[in-house]
Amino acid sequence: ADGELIRWRKLVLATGSRPIVPPIAGVDLPGVYTVQKDVGYLNRLLEAVAQAQDVVVIGGGLIGLELADELRKRGRRVTVVEILRRCLELVYDDDLTERAEQELARLGINVRTGARVTAIEGDGKVKAVRLDTGEQLRADLVVLSVGAQPNVALAESAGLCLVDGGIWVDRYLRTSNPDVFAAGDCAAKTSYLTGMPAATRLASTATAEARVAGANLFQLRREFPGVVGVYSTKIGDLAMGLAGLGERAASAVGLSYVVGTAEAPDRHPASMPGAKLLKVKLVFTRHSGQLIGGQAYGGDSVGELINLIAVMVQRRMTAEDIATFQMGTHPALTASPVTYQLSNAAEMALVVLQG
């Protein structure tokens, strides 16, 4: 931007994404924010939070709900407005979204699902949010969290190929100019499991791509096999995660699948201090018995448990493989070996697959 010229032999585009601003009346009013990865902007948002009593978060995805939870911890009255039938519906199956909404209710966060915002109202400053039901929600701060889109301005002006709104890349993460790589939210993605376009925007995916692009700069050494997608979150005391395809995603692509579920306390016996119910659901293709995804909710151990499911997906393990895999257990750290959720969910799926 300042005219300096930097010569390059290889170039990596990591221009990320920017928040989508929906075309709603009043969206430009002072007091309306997005969630941006910009420290100066976030500090101004924090100052606005300090002045606010009633906050409306538009969008009940991962970012919206985690933000709502943080605002709740700071004592704000928070309402989340979600246009879909349930919060987190684009990420998780209904069993998890229902559990998340229970937790939001327990935390005192108001949630309006199936509701569309028709206008943000105010006179020189935001005062309320109007819903399509006609209802008016009081608000002295509004945060938009309705998703992000790849930031492709530079790539587009350089004449690189775009696809699905992102920068096209090959499996080595080269763009249409083989000396230019792209990684992260700005790069178009395909699903590891279906080969179809995937709108995944995750720091963990960006990092996985960076490990491939970085290795390939001067010699092709690694391939990116497509996005698995591992979404973990924590709202209040509830940790949740998904790796790969849920039931909804499997249905959407026309896969016939079999599900196995299991639940047990995440300590043993259940009377151990801090024990929480940990529930696992595994999704297998009917034709191959291979794991294509899994979901879990429970305590903090879900963070690594979902990565365990993720590696099982990536190694294309079958229900039989998972039922017989050898794990370790400890009273203070996991379920008992008899109730271990992954093994038992796989056994339940085998009953159907082999029935």
Minimum CB separation of residue 154 from a second copy in Å reads 23
Residue 111 or 306: the one with the smaller Cβ distance to a second copy is 306
The distance from CA 348 to its chain's CA centroid, rounded to whole angstroms, is: 27
The burial of 1, by beta-carbon neighbours within 10 Å (0-12 exposed, 13-18 middle, 19 or more buried), is given as exposed
What is the binding site for a second copy (CB under 8 A)? 192, 202-208, 211-212, 222, 224, 227-234, 239, 241, 243, 300-308, 310-312, 314-315, 317, 320, 323-330, 332-334, 336-338, 340, 343, 347
Q: Do 310 and 243 contact (CB within 8 A), yes or no?
A: yes
Minimum CB separation of residue 254 from a second copy in Å reads 24
Strand, helix or coil for residue 87: coil
Residue type (1 letter), 32? V
Minimum CB separation of residue 274 from a second copy in Å reads 8
Minimum CB separation of residue 211 from a second copy in Å reads 6
The distance from CA 254 to its chain's CA centroid, rounded to whole angstroms, is: 22
Nearest residue to 294 (alpha-carbon basis) of 275, 274, 308, 277: 308
Residue type (1 letter), 50? A
Minimum CB separation of residue 15 from a second copy in Å reads 18
Report DSSP letters for 182-226, one per residue: E-STTB-EEBTTT-SEE----HHHHHHHHHHHHHHSSS-------
The burial of 82, by beta-carbon neighbours within 10 Å (0-12 exposed, 13-18 middle, 19 or more buried), is given as buried
Residue 179 or 223: the one with the smaller Cβ distance to a second copy is 223
**For 25, which DSSP code?**
B
Residue 208 or 349: the one with the smaller Cβ distance to a second copy is 208
Minimum CB separation of residue 48 from a second copy in Å reads 22
Residue type (1 letter), 133? T
C-alpha–C-alpha distance, residues 68 and 76, integer Å: 9
Minimum CB separation of residue 207 from a second copy in Å reads 4
Could you tell me which residues come within 8 angstroms of residue 217 by beta carbon, excluding any fewer than 6 positions away? 10, 12, 181
Secondary structure in 3-state letters for 289-303:
CEEEEEEEEECCCHH
163 C-beta neighbours (distance < 10 Å), count: 14
Minimum CB separation of residue 242 from a second copy in Å reads 8
> What's the full length of the chain, in residues?
355
C-alpha–C-alpha distance, residues 237 and 106, integer Å: 10
Q: In degrees rounded to 5, what are phi and psi of residue 309?
A: -65, -40
Residue 95 or 347: the one with the smaller Cβ distance to a second copy is 347
Minimum CB separation of residue 57 from a second copy in Å reads 18
